[in-house]
Structure 1
């Protein structure tokens, strides 16, 4: 019988375990991957202040701290079902049933699929898979590739692939269809580019992004967007070109790219074939929240948070007694925010009131100072989900 079972050994789960162990709670952290760290393991980028964020090193700091506190961490363990029982929760896993009074779900996020013709060929992968293969497993994903989908996530990981010595032809939009509609709209994509332009090495781009915050300026920028794209780190980023199809017989051999209008419509006769041997598709992230749904946790769809999110309060507590959430399951943000949320969740579980308020302030501070945000209205989204918690509690 555990005081706390934590599902997910990423930055949120590990930080929560450390906070719980500080209060001497009996904790176990489980994760289906072969090593702890979650998506943090694949992260390697330079921040605006010039410092490097190395996810492997950051993970090791958390592991070392957890081990000093004699935290039980088991990897290669999958949780496939959860029951709400009299004493708390029964977590069904491939190593048996784990009984616990409190449960923290810190399962993170998953990537959204963006289907385009030819996407089932060997050599096509999600941008996140390319990141893990490159930075975690040290596997070269190919010699020359292209990124389909222009957003915060794809821009960050594309740079990581370049640092690893992988050649990228460019980044372009997917061809518009029912599923890719948002990702294929040049104006929507331009909104996202404005939010990451401050990371660009070009002073001109950083300066221009300040003006592009105006809607009418963004419209002009889309209409006048250069045919050769705008280069970041020497790589063209296209929002007026789209990938129509991925070509190949037994594996990726090329892609067909076309010009598109400011409204995302294909310009007839503009198709060109580009030789590549791998394609990374970037459709963004959504909260991985199925386990919370299994035990009947109420949800709300909040676009600013990336999708359906378990209802929770500022202390990471859900309406179900003893059930807590932290990290990207609560909304798509950076690993630093997830880490701060995990610490807050741990103190909430331990009822460490002396540290809860400071931990809440830390989450806000980390969020406010984040170099990138996956969604522009994250604060408003958080306020909506916290109000939903109060409304749900009052209705019971």
Structure 2
């Protein structure tokens, strides 16, 4: 019987394991990927202050600490079911069952689909898959490609592909359909671009983004957006062009692009063919929360957090006694926020073990404040209104607690 089983060896899971183990908790970390690190393994970008964020290096730091503390981290193990028991929790995996008094689910996020005609051809992949192939497996995804979907995630990973000497023709919107209506809306996409313009290498773009925070300025920017796109890192970003079809017989050979109106309507007769051999589709991220659902945790839909998230409080506790969550399962944010949340969760779990020690009470409060500070200083926000979203989920926890 472990004190805690942690599902997910990403930044949240590993940080939680370290924080709880430092208080001598008996910890088991499970992850289905062959290596620990989660999404950290694929991350490589330059911060606004000029420093480089290297996910592999950050993973190494966490794993060195985990090994120093003799934390049991097992990879290649897939957890497919969890259940609440009289003594705690049972986790069902492809390697048998494991029991613990507490359970932390830190499964992260998954990519949303953005289907367009031809998207089942070999050579079409999610933007996250391209990141993993390039930065983790060191596999070249193709010679020349295009990114379909303009958002925070696709902009960051497109830059990573460029750094790996992968040629990208451009970034453009997906054709509008019932699934992609938000991703294909130039106005909504412009709202997202404003949140990452401060990362652009052009001082002009960074300066202009300050004015674009006003809604009427963004509307004008969409209306008069350059036909040739706005270049970031030498790559055109189009929000007045959409990819309407991916072409090829047995693999990707080209895409068909057309001009669109400010509301996303295709302009007939503007279609052009662009030769590419791979396509990256970026539909955004959503919390990967199925295991929390089967454990009986209540959920709340909060758009600012990326979708359905488990009800939880600032201590990362859910209404299910002994069940905790941390990282992107609680809402889509950066790896730094996930790591800080993991520390909170680990300390909250340890607090149950050591009970009323003033020092750990202080450490939990300190860790909670650090989460807020990191969130405030984040160079990239995946969703607007993240603070409002966090307030909503905290209220949901309080409402649920009052009812039960």
TM-score (norm 1): 1.00
Counterpart of 2:32 in structure 1 is: 32
**Aligned counterparts, 1:372-383, within 5 A:** 372-383=380-391
| Structure 1 residue 49 corresponds to structure 2 residue 49 | yes
Local SS of the residue matching 2:116: coil
1:268 corresponding residue in structure 2: 268
**Corresponding residue pairs, total:** 396
Q: Which runs of 5+ in 2 are unaligned?
A: 352-359
- 1:9, CA displacement in angstroms? 0.1
Aligned residue runs from structure 1 range 178-193, under 5 A: 178-193=178-193
Deviation at 1:354, TM superposition (A): 2.8
Question: Which whole-Å deviations, capped at 9, do the CAs of 1:171-217 have from their partners, x for residues lacking one?
Answer: 00000000000000000000000000000000000000001111111
Query: Partner of 2:127 in structure 1?
Result: 127
Q: 1:356 aligns with which of 360, 364, 367?
A: 364
1:83 positional shift: 1.1
Number of the residue aligned with 2:252: 252
**Using the alignment, how far apart are the partners of 2:315 and 2:104 within structure 1?**
12
Aligned to 2:106: 106
Structure-2 separation of matches of 1:42 and 1:82: 28
Q: Within 5 A, what are the aligned runs for 1:17-96?
A: 17-96=17-96
What SS is found at the alignment partner of 1:350? helix
Secondary structure of the residue aligned to 1:374 is coil
Instruction: Please report how far the alpha carbon of residue 67 of structure 1 lies from its aligned counterpart in structure 2 after TM superposition.
Output: 0.5
Asked if 1:393 corresponds to 2:379, the answer is no
Post-superposition Cα deviations, 1:144-176, rounded to whole Å, max 9, x if no partner, equal 000000000000000000000000000000000
Task: Tell me the residue number matched to 1:291.
Answer: 291
Is 1:370 aligned to 2:378, yes or no? yes
- The aligned counterpart of 2:204 is 204
Q: TM-score, normalised by structure 2?
A: 0.98
Aligned alpha-carbon RMSD (Å): 0.4
The alpha carbon displacement at 1:353 in A equals: 1.6
Secondary structure at the residue paired with 1:91?
A: strand
Structure 1: tracts of 5 or more residues without a match: none
- SS of 1:160 mapped into structure 2: helix
Q: CA deviation at 1:66?
A: 0.6
Aligned-residue offset at 1:290: 0.2
Q: Report deviation, 1:60.
A: 0.2
1:292-323 CA distance string (max 9 Å, x none): 00011000000000000000001000000000
Any residues of structure 2 matched to 1:278-357 within 5 Å, and which? 278-351=278-351, 352-357=360-365
Instruction: Report the secondary structure of 1:353's partner residue.
Output: helix
Q: How much has 1:381 moved relative to structure 2? A: 0.1
Cα distance in 2 for residues equivalent to 1:152 and 1:380? 19
Secondary structure in structure 2 of the residue aligned to 1:207: helix
Once residues 361 and 376 of structure 2 are traced to their aligned partners in structure 1, the CA distance between those partners, rounded to angstroms, is 24
Q: Partners in 1 of 2:345 and 2:66 — Cα distance?
A: 15
